[in-house]
Amino acid sequence: MATKLYVGGVSYGTTEDSLREAFAQAGNVVSAKIIIDKMTGRSRGFAFVEMGSEDDAQKAIALWNGKELDGRTLTVNEARPLEERAPRTSGSGGFRGGNSGNRDYGSGNQGGSRW
């Protein structure tokens, strides 16, 4: 059964093909996917590599964790499943926080110091 690995510290210059080639030194690579930022189109600096077996995955961890690829030190470990997150709701504070309505912005003396 295939095992998915998390690869952190991926260089912006690393491609999915070069990542696949590097991890192929440890065994059968099923897939290699560099995560791309939707806004910038640039790498987010991490990837997922799916190895053909648990044994190949352990070899890849031993071979690449803490080692340098394209000028960056990689962090390689078994990927954890995505955790369930609470749904986002509108009006939850955003940039201002949840208590922004109680501030005195200095519009006259309202019975206290301004700062």
pLDDT in tens, 88-106: 776 555 555 555 555 555 5
> pLDDT digit string (tens) for 11-36?
999 999 999 999 999 999 999 999 99
Kindly write down the DSSP assignment for every residue of 21-48, as one continuous string. Answer: HHHTTTS-EEEEEEEE-TTT-SEEEEEE
Domain presence at residue 12:
yes
What are the residues whose beta carbons fall under 8 Å from the beta carbon of 63, sequence distance 6 or more?
25, 26
Domain presence at residue 44:
yes
Residue 84, pLDDT score: 76
Domain presence at residue 57:
yes
The tally of domains found in the chain comes to 1
Residue 54, pLDDT score: 96
Q: Helix crossing, 54-64 with 16-23: angle to 10°?
A: 100
What are the residues whose beta carbons fall under 8 Å from the beta carbon of 16, sequence distance 6 or more?
32, 33, 34, 47
Domain presence at residue 110:
no
Residue 3, pLDDT score: 93
Name the pTM for this structure.
Answer: 0.71
Domain presence at residue 101:
no
pLDDT band at residue 107 under the 50/70/90 scheme: low
> pLDDT digit string (tens) for 48-102?
999 999 999 999 999 999 999 999 999 999 998 877 777 877 655 555 555 555 5
Place of tokens 């995560």: 35
Range of the domain at 53: 3-78
CATH number of the domain residue 68 falls in: 3.30.70.330
